[in-house]
Amino acid sequence: MSALIGLFLKLSAFSALAFGGINALLPALYELSVTQEHWLSTQTFADFFAIAQAAPGPNLMTVTLIGWHVSGVIGAVVASIAICWPSSIMVYFLQNYISNMRNLKKQKMIQFAASALAVGLVLGSAWGISSQINQNLQAYALTLATIIVVLFTRWHPLYFIGIGGALGVLGLI
């Protein structure tokens, strides 16, 4: 029960800080679930991340899986609600406030400021979590290759996932 309460409170705090969405949160999720609470091993965390990437639906499914691992279906529900409710309440009230703003300059300023913060957090997150998840040089090479292809093409993410999975099954990663 106390694990559930801790999970709920920590994830609720993350929700209100996650500029850039779940992708910006990965190191914080790792820190909480692997380093601090020992709910999962590094390997399981990496595997849950992979499952959530490959599965259909929002990327917050990593959080759902962590909750499920901690306390079954109830844990999954608690974790999913925790990661959503603070930001949902915020956006519910802010949407009208921001879109009705008379001062367009102010509106632009807030958007510009938040987007820079989001970009930085997402990139920092990718960097931070890669050292936990990528176990060898081949994995880093695959990450790097993915970045390059993403930058220069418009491939659907599923192609990347398919190729990555296939390379892994062949024992190359």
Partner 1 sequence: MLGICQIVPGPNIVNLAVCVGSKFAGVRGALGAVLGLMLGPSAIVILLGMLYEYYSYLPAVQGMLRGISAVGIGLIAGTGLKMMRNEFIYPPMLLVVAFTVIAAGYFHLGLGLVVLIALPMTLYLAWLKVGKL
Span 77-96, contacts to partner 1 by CB under 8 A: 80, 83-84, 86-88, 90-92, 94-95
Cβ atoms of 67 and 78 closer than 8 Å? yes
Options 5, 16, 36, 41; binder of partner 1; rule CB under 8 A: 16
**3-state SS, residue 37:** coil
Q: Is 9 in the site for partner 1 (CB under 8 A)?
A: no
**Contacts of partner 1 in 95-114 (CB under 8 A):** 95, 98-99, 103, 105-106, 108-114
Name the nearest CA neighbour of 142 among 167, 117, 106, 116: 167
Amino acid at 120: G
Helix axes 61-99, 42-54, angle to 10 degrees: 60
Residues 127-156 that bind partner 1 (CB under 8 A): 127-130, 133-135, 139-140, 142-151
Site for partner 1 in 28-67 (CB under 8 A): 28, 31, 46-61, 64-65
Unique residue bearing structure tokens 């694990």: 3
